[in-house]
Chains A and B, each alone.
Chain A
Amino acid sequence: MKIAVCLKQILDPEVPARDFKVDAAKREAEQGGANLVTNIFCENALETALQIRDAAGSGEIVALSVGPAGAEDVLRKALALRADQAVLVVNDADTNPDPLFVAKTLAAAIKKIGGVDVVMVGREAGDWGAGQTGGLLAEELAIPCISFAEGFEPGATPGTIKVKRQTDAGFEVIEAPTPLVLTITNHDKNVPRIPKTRDVMQSYRKPLEKWTLSDLGVDGSTSHAYSQVAELFIPKKETKCEFIEGDTVEAKIDALAKRIGDILRAM
C-alpha cells in the first residue's frame, strides 16, 4: 500500500490572540516572532499513516508539500518520523494560493509520484481553515473522498478499505475502493509522535525531491482564479467579565449559583 500524506506549513496557531497581528494591505498575518509549524491535522494524518504501515508491517509513505522553499522543514520532520520519501513542490511566488490551485498542484504531483493508493490530507489548516483541499483534490483526480476520517483498515475485498470517520452524531464505517482521498481529523489515537533525536539527525541526509510548478505543468498565474482574500481584519469584541466576589469560597459559590439560577429560571 502506498500512502501519500499532504502536509502544509503554517504560522503557529498557538500564538495567543493578544500577540496576533495582521497586515491588512497584504491580507496576511504578520509572522512576528512566531514559528512556522506543520499544520496539526496534517500531523494527525502522518501519524495515522505511520500506524497503518506499522500494523501492516509493510507499505510506503510519501510526504508531499506545496509551499515556499522553507516548507522543507515540514518534510524533514516527516522524514525524521520515518516517511519513506519526501517531495516539495516549490511555490515561492504566492504565499496564500487559493484551494483549487493547491489541489491542482497536489494532483499533478500525485500523478507524477504514481501508484498512490490512499491520499491523506488534514481536514483543514490552522491558518486559513478553508477545509477544501481534500475534496477538490479528489475531484481533480476523479476519485472518491471521505472526510473526517480517523483511520482505516483493509476492506473485505482486495482493492477496498474500511474507513472509520467522525460525524456530528458519532461515527460511520465506510467501505470504499482505492485509490481515494481521506481527510483526517484528530482523535485520541492519532496524537502525533515525537521523532527520535537520531532520526532527526538522519533526516537531513535523506533525499528530498524538489519540483517546480513548471515541472508539473501548473500555471502559477492561476493561483487566485478560484477565490481571493478581499479583506482581513481583527474583529473587535470586548466583553467585560464580572468576576464573582465573596469573602469565602462558600459565599462565591452562593453568588455563582444565584447568577446561574436566574438565567435558568428566565428561560
Chain B
Amino acid sequence: MSEVVCTLWGRAGLDRAAQGVLGAGRRLADSTGAALRAIIVGTADDALASGAQAVADRVVVATGPGLEDYNPESYLAALSDLCKAASATVVLLGNDTYAQEIAARLAHRLGGSAAGDAVAVHAEGGKVRVTRGVYGGKATAVIELEKSPAVVWVRARAIEPADAAGRGAGEVERVTPELPATGVKVLERQEESKGGARLEDAQVIVSGGRGLGGPEPFTELQKLADVMHAQMAASRAACDAGWVPASWQVGQTGKKVAPQLYLAIAISGASQHIMGIADSKVICAINRDADAPIFKHCTFGLVEDYQKVIGPLTERLRSAK
C-alpha cells in the first residue's frame, strides 16, 4: 500500500505546525486510499508521540547520536533512509527554516520532485498538484510535480488539524538510523527570544515599517504591544535597515503569521509583505497615505501620522483594561 509520510521534528513538539502537517497528511491519505506514516526526527515527548499516534496509521521515531539537534546533513541522511523504507508517494514537511533547507535535497535523494510554501496539496490523475503564491503573492500557481514521491513543505499553521477521530496508530516504532560522517557542525545556536509566544503562534501582532524612520519608534511600538499583549514584528525594509532583528521579518521571505489581529504601522503593504499576513483574521493599518496598498487588506484602518497616534492609543488601551 502506498503511504503518505508526515515529517515532524521532535524538538518542536506537537505545535500548531505539526498539527497542520498531520491534518494535511491525513486528508491526503484518505483521499488517495494511502496509509499515513508519521516520521519524527529527534526525541519526541509524550504529547507529540500520542498526538501523531491519534492521527497516523504508523509512527516512527528516529533518535540517536547526530539526531539530538538539527544538523542539515544528518537529518537529511536519516530522513532519506526512513522515507525510502516507507513506500512514500508523498512526503509532507512544515515550512520552518529546517524543512525548507532540506526538502528539495530530500526530493532529489528519493528521485522525486519538490514544491513548497503550499497552501493546498491534492492528487490528480496520479500526480500531486501544489497550490502556492508566486510573483511575490501577486499571482497563484498550481504546480504539477512530475516525479514521485512528491516532497512538499506546507504552510502548516494555516492548515486545519485532523479531526480527532482517534484512529490509534498501534505502537510507536523506535529506530536509530546509521548516519554517514559529516564535516558540517553546528557550533552555536542563538535565539533572539522576545519572551512570550513565538511570532508564528502569536494571537496579536504589532508590526512596524520603514515609515517609522528609525529604530527609536520601535520602543514606542513595544509599549503599545505590551498593553495589547502582542508580539512585535516588522517589514523587510525595517529589518534590512538594521532597526530590528531579521527574525522579526514577516512576509514572503519572513514569518508567515496568522493572528487574530495584525496591526501594521507605517507599512505600505507590498505584496511580498501581504504574503506573510494574509491568514490574519483582522488586519488594521495606521498609515498617513490613504492610497497605501495595505488598506486593501484591512478590515479597518486609520489614515494618520503614526507619531500622533501611538502614545495616545497606548494610553487609551491601558486605561480601558
Residues of A within 8 A of B101 (CB): 135, 145-148
Q: How far is the CB of A29 from chain B (nearest CB, A)?
A: 6
B143 touches A (CB below 8 Å): yes
Let me know if A257 and B317 touch, CB within 8 A: yes
Other-chain contact of B241, A147, A171, A188, A239 (Cβ < 8 Å): A188
Residues of B within 8 A of A169 (CB): 191-193, 198, 247
Residues of B within 8 A of A64 (CB): none
B16 touches A (CB below 8 Å): no
Residues of B within 8 A of A129 (CB): 117, 132-136, 252
A217 touches B (CB below 8 Å): no
A132 touches B (CB below 8 Å): yes
Residues of A within 8 A of B117 (CB): 129, 131
Chain B window 251-267, contacts with chain A (Cβ cutoff 8 Å), 1 for yes, 0 for no: 01101000011010000
Q: Please measure, in the bound complex, the distance between the C-alpha atom of A99 and the C-alpha atom of B101, giving whole angstroms.
A: 15
Interface residues of B in 217-255 (CB under 8 A from A): 228-229, 236, 239-242, 245-247, 252-253, 255
Chain A window 6-41, contacts with chain B (Cβ cutoff 8 Å), 1 for yes, 0 for no: 000001011111001010000101000000000001
Looking at A50-58, A65-73, A84-92, A240-248, the stretch in contact with chain B turns out to be A240-248
Let me know if A254 and B302 touch, CB within 8 A: no
B177 touches A (CB below 8 Å): no
Let me know if B72 and A146 touch, CB within 8 A: yes
Q: How far is the CB of B155 from chain A (nearest CB, A)?
A: 13
Other-chain contact of B309, A172, A227, A256 (Cβ < 8 Å): A256
A194 touches B (CB below 8 Å): no
Let me know if A234 and B309 touch, CB within 8 A: no
B1 touches A (CB below 8 Å): no
With A136-B104, A160-B183, A169-B192: A29-B139 Cβ-Cβ less than 8 Å? yes
Let me know if A174 and B184 touch, CB within 8 A: yes
Candidate in B278, B290, B300 with the most chain A CB atoms within 10 angstroms: B300
Chain B window 174-213, contacts with chain A (Cβ cutoff 8 Å), 1 for yes, 0 for no: 0000000011111111111100001010011000000000
Residues of A within 8 A of B239 (CB): 186-188
Other-chain contact of B299, A99, A127, A232, A242 (Cβ < 8 Å): A242
Residues of B within 8 A of A231 (CB): 141-142
Q: Please measure, in the bound complex, the distance between the C-alpha atom of A186 and the C-alpha atom of B239, giving whole angstroms.
A: 9
Residues of A within 8 A of B320 (CB): 257, 261
Q: Please measure, in the bound complex, the distance between the C-alpha atom of A17 and the C-alpha atom of B274, giving whole angstroms.
A: 11
With A29-B139, A168-B97, A228-B143: A257-B313 Cβ-Cβ less than 8 Å? yes
Let me know if B184 and A175 touch, CB within 8 A: yes
Chain B residues bordering chain A, tally (CB within 8 A): 93
B282 touches A (CB below 8 Å): yes
Q: How far is the CB of A34 from chain B (nearest CB, A)?
A: 11
Q: Classify the secondary structure of A's interface with B.
A: mixed
Chain A residues bordering chain B, tally (CB within 8 A): 85
Q: How far is the CB of B65 from chain A (nearest CB, A)?
A: 18
The closest CB in chain A to the CB of B116 belongs to: A131
Residues of A within 8 A of B261 (CB): 260, 263-264
Q: Please measure, in the bound complex, the distance between the C-alpha atom of A80 and the C-alpha atom of B203, giving whole angstroms.
A: 47
Other-chain contact of A267, B98, B141, B190, B203 (Cβ < 8 Å): B203
The closest CB in chain A to the CB of B108 belongs to: A139
Residues of A within 8 A of B98 (CB): 167
Q: Please measure, in the bound complex, the distance between the C-alpha atom of A145 and the C-alpha atom of B76, giving whole angstroms.
A: 11
Let me know if B312 and A126 touch, CB within 8 A: no
Let me know if A166 and B247 touch, CB within 8 A: yes
* 5 examples of A-B residue contacts, CB within 8 angstroms: A29-B138, A167-B97, A173-B188, A241-B297, A249-B308
Query: What would 8 more interface pairs be, CB under 8 Å, given A175-B187, A253-B302, A253-B312?
Result: A22-B139, A131-B104, A166-B97, A186-B246, A230-B144, A239-B299, A241-B298, A244-B301
Return the 8 tightest CB-CB contacts between A and B, nearest first.
A188-B242, A135-B104, A257-B316, A132-B104, A177-B183, A139-B108, A231-B142, A173-B188
Residues of B whose CB lies within 8 Å of any CB of A are 72-73, 96-98, 100-105, 108-109, 113-117, 129, 132-136, 138-147, 182-193, 198, 200, 203-204, 228-229, 236, 239-242, 245-247, 252-253, 255, 260-261, 263, 270-272, 278, 282-284, 286, 290, 293, 295-304, 308-309, 312-313, 316-317, 320
